């Protein structure tokens, strides 16, 4: 309200000053011409006065049309923006077109920022709910798994002991490890625990390896959101390898550029047909932020969609997930993140 009053006072003062200048000019011109009556012919003076009055009226009209009205339009636009935050609807042929475009661009950016914050908050709440649901007496779970592992060691059943240890470490990382960001080495260790469990489930039909295409020591401490890779590995196994005849392989390729960390998860599974793949990448590449229950029903799975949205919300549309695949040959899921080694450089660390 205070801003509106200040703007109205400003525009009233500006109008009064400009109108005063115009009428002062008219009066001054009339006085000058009256004084000149004694030195010139009366008909010439009258003609000059009429012409000058017409010119001044024309100037006043132009002032109202090209200065006063546009200023009042801007004032109305600012009030409209302040009250509704909707885009403005001025005629682009008007002199206010440039200002209109700038204001509309500002409104669009403001809306996008608000939508991003809203989507972040929803994803944050989802993560908190999932964490609460999984934190039902975790120590009981760990103690039980340790008891099973101890009994397996006593019975010299090393396979059960190893699988139980991997399961305990996996749950401990997923549930108890504090912080939303972890190092690449921590994330890979969790993936290895997950793969250990899956190898027993699939009777060692699955092989797994990690390939570094950059110096390992330079990327091991890079930071990323926790549980970025495991859902992708899970997707590769269940959608790529589970229905494959024979053995399967999952490989993680790690590459670092000057500003980016690129992680590619490849499998030699059944692949994805071109039509489905196009729809998946179209959804992943979309700037639209969706938090929809329908995502649970698609072939991609809500986990990868969630990861992709988190990365884009945190660092922009140039980051996230893309998928390439050939039917009956395999699939590659590429994750692009900023190359960050310092926690102080992380934005949105509450996601």
Per-residue pLDDT of the chain (351 residues; tens, 9 = 90+): 555 555 555 555 555 555 555 555 565 565 555 555 555 555 555 566 566 666 666 666 666 666 666 666 666 666 665 566 555 555 544 555 566 666 677 777 777 777 777 777 777 666 665 655 555 566 667 778 888 888 888 888 888 888 889 988 888 887 766 678 999 999 999 999 999 999 888 888 899 999 999 998 889 999 999 999 999 999 999 999 998 988 999 999 999 999 999 999 999 999 999 999 998 998 888 766 554 444 444 445 577 888 998 899 889 889 999 999 999 999 999 999 999 988 777 754 443
pLDDT of residue 297: 44
pLDDT of residue 32: 57
How far is CA 243 from each of CA 12, 18, 238, 336, rounded to the nearest angstrom?
Answer: 76, 81, 8, 28
pLDDT of residue 294: 45
pLDDT of residue 219: 94
Residue with tokens 């330079």: 218
Length of the chain as a residue count: 351
Alpha carbon 144 to chain centroid distance?
41
- Give this prediction's pTM: 0.61
pLDDT of residue 62: 63
The Cβ of residue 261 has, within 10 Å, a number of other Cβ atoms equal to: 22
Helix (H) or strand (E) holding 223: strand 223-225
Alpha carbon 294 to chain centroid distance?
21
Contact call for residues 236 and 265 (beta carbons, < 8 A) = yes
Q: Strands 248-256, 206-212: parallel, antiparallel or unpaired by DSSP?
A: parallel
pLDDT of residue 217: 87
């Amino acid at each position: 309200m205070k801003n509106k009053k200040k703007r109205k006072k400003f525009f009233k003062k500006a109008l009064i000053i400009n109108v005063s200048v115009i009428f002062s000019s008219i009066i001054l011109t009339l006085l000058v011409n009256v004084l000149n009556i004694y030195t010139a012919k009366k008909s010439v003076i009258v003609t000059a006065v009429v012409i000058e009055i017409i010119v001044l009226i024309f100037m006043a009209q132009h002032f109202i049309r090209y200065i006063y009205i546009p200023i009042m339009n801007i004032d109305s636009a600012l009030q409209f923006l302040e009250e509704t935050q909707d885009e403005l609807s001025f005629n682009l042929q008007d002199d206010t077109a440039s200002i209109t475009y700038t204001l509309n661009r500002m409104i669009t950016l403001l809306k996008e920022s608000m939508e991003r914050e809203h989507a972040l908050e929803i994803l944050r709440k989802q993560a908190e709910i999932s964490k609460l649901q999984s934190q039902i007496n975790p120590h009981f779970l760990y103690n039980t798994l340790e008891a099973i592992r101890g009994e397996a060691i006593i019975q010299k059943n090393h396979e059960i002991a190893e699988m139980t240890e991997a399961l305990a470490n996996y749950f401990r990382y997923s549930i108890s490890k504090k912080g939303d960001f972890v190092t690449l080495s921590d994330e890979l260790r969790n993936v290895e625990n997950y793969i250990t469990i899956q190898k027993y489930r699939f009777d060692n039909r699955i092989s797994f390896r990690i390939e570094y295409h950059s110096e390992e020591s330079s990327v091991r401490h890079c930071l990323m959101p926790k549980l970025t890779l495991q859902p992708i590995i899970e997707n590769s196994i269940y959608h790529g390898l589970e229905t494959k005849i024979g053995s399967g392989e999952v490989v993680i390729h790690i590459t670092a550029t000057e500003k980016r960390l690129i992680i590619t998860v490849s499998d030699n599974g059944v692949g994805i047909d071109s039509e489905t793949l196009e729809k998946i990448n179209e959804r992943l590449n979309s700037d639209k932020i969706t938090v929809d229950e329908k995502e649970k029903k698609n072939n991609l799975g809500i986990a990868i969609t969630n990861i992709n949205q988190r990365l884009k919300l945190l660092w922009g549309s140039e980051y996230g997930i893309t998928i390439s695949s050939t039917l009956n040959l395999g699939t590659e899921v590429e994750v692009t993140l900023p190359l960050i080694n310092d926690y102080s450089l992380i934005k949105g660390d509450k996601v």
